[in-house]
């Protein structure tokens, strides 16, 4: 398909004509955005290339603005195209919500809740889900785990009903319920040479090797901010995408780690890890349950959102006394 086929010669209809668009047109635009070409989009949709091209032309005529442009990286959406794509995502989400509501009314299901959680929250979110499921056994819970950046990106869409994370994303308008405190500490293996030292400063740790999460993790971002405030730079030994791997690596003596106390509660209780007494720690952040303000929650999702907001703190792991300092 040539660029000329999508050339723009001025609006032929008022913008109000957009109300006449169809689901097929929106899905054609979404497929083109995801696949990068009409050929790939047609294969994804199970339509012919001329059919997809026609749907895109009709949608562009209704919008009264160019929606697609060809670049060296393939067919990309213009700013107007991105706005229409957002509409497509909202429409698809509304269709899914309607289907869920109809299933509820027909008695076919108790409904489905799509919950996202940052990886650090996996140490308590399953316990909260278990308690909620005992109260509402017919409601299905679908849980997505990712780092902060992945969950933040997921919040840009409408697939998730809500998410459990720390600092709310700044680029999405959200409603927030606070869950509880999330203290961050520095841990080392039992027998570490600094185990019995008190009143340590970050300068005492500049020669230590830190084992840390990958860039994009909220814990990694918090650690980097802590060192930057002191004009220091930690020695990063290994980057890992799993808190479990970090814990085992610290226990093995490969380094120390800045980490949420909720992820190491068991290891601290069992004595396999110890907390280094560092001035300014713990850094206490908050856990939140967050949803897009424009996301309409069906009754099952609203019930769980309210449950986490009122009772979610009951499922946070117990941590040592330092959490209250």
Residues 173-199 have a mean pLDDT of 94
Closest alpha carbon to 177 in 86, 68, 290, 64: 290
* Domains of the chain, first to last: 11-82 (1.10.10.10), 87-178+284-313 (3.40.190.10), 181-283 (3.40.190.10)
CA distances from 85 to 23, 106, 161, 171 (A): 12, 31, 19, 17
Write the pLDDT tens digit of every residue in 142-154.
Answer: 999 999 999 999 9
Write the pLDDT tens digit of every residue in 86-108.
Answer: 999 999 988 888 887 777 666 55
pLDDT, mean over the chain: 88
- E strand residue ranges, the chain: 68-71, 74-77, 112-118, 140-146, 162-165, 174-189, 209-213, 235-240, 257-260, 273-275, 283-292
Cβ count within 10 A of residue 201: 12
Write the pLDDT tens digit of every residue in 43-74.
Answer: 999 999 999 999 999 999 999 899 999 888 78
pLDDT of residue 216 exceeding 90: no
128: exposed, middle or buried (C-beta count within 10 Å: 0-12, 13-18, 19+)?
buried
At 232, list the tokens. Answer: 């220091």
Residues 237-246 have a mean pLDDT of 92
pTM passes above 0.75: no
């Amino acid at each position: 398909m040539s660029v000329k086929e999508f050339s723009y010669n001025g609006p032929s209809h008022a913008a109000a004509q957009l109300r006449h668009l169809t689901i097929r047109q929106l899905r054609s635009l979404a497929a083109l955005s995801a696949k990068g070409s009409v050929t790939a989009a047609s294969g994804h949709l199970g339509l012919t290339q001329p059919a997809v091209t026609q749907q895109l032309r009709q949608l562009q005529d209704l919008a009264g603005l160019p929606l697609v442009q060809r670049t060296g990286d393939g067919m990309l959406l213009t700013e107007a195209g991105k706005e229409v794509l957002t509409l497509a995502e909202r429409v698809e989400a509304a269709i899914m919500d309607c289907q869920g509501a109809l299933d509820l009314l027909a008695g076919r299901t108790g409904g489905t809740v799509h919950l996202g959680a940052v990886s650090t929250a996996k140490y308590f979110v399953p316990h909260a889900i278990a308690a909620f499921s005992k109260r509402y056994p017919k409601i299905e819970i679908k849980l997505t785990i990712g780092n902060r950046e992945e969950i933040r990106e997921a919040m840009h869409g409408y697939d998730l009903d809500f998410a459990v994370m720390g600092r709310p994303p700044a680029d999405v308008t959200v409603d927030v319920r606070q869950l509880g405190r999330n203290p961050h500490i520095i841990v080392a293996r039992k027998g570490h040479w600094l185990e019995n030292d008190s009143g340590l400063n970050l300068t005492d740790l500049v020669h230590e090797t830190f084992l840390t999460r990958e860039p994009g993790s909220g814990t990694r971002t918090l650690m980097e901010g802590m060192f930057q405030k002191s004009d220091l730079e930690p020695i990063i030994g290994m980057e890992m995408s799993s808190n479990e791997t970090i814990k085992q690596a610290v226990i093995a003596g490969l380094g120390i780690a800045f980490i949420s106390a909720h992820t190491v509660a068991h290891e601290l209780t069992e004595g396999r890890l110890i907390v280094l007494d560092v001035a300014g720690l713990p850094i206490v952040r908050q856990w939140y349950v967050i949803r897009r303000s424009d996301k309409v929650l069906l009754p099952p999702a609203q019930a769980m959102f309210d449950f986490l907001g009122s009772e979610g703190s009951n499922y946070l792991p117990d941590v040592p006394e330092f959490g209250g300092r």
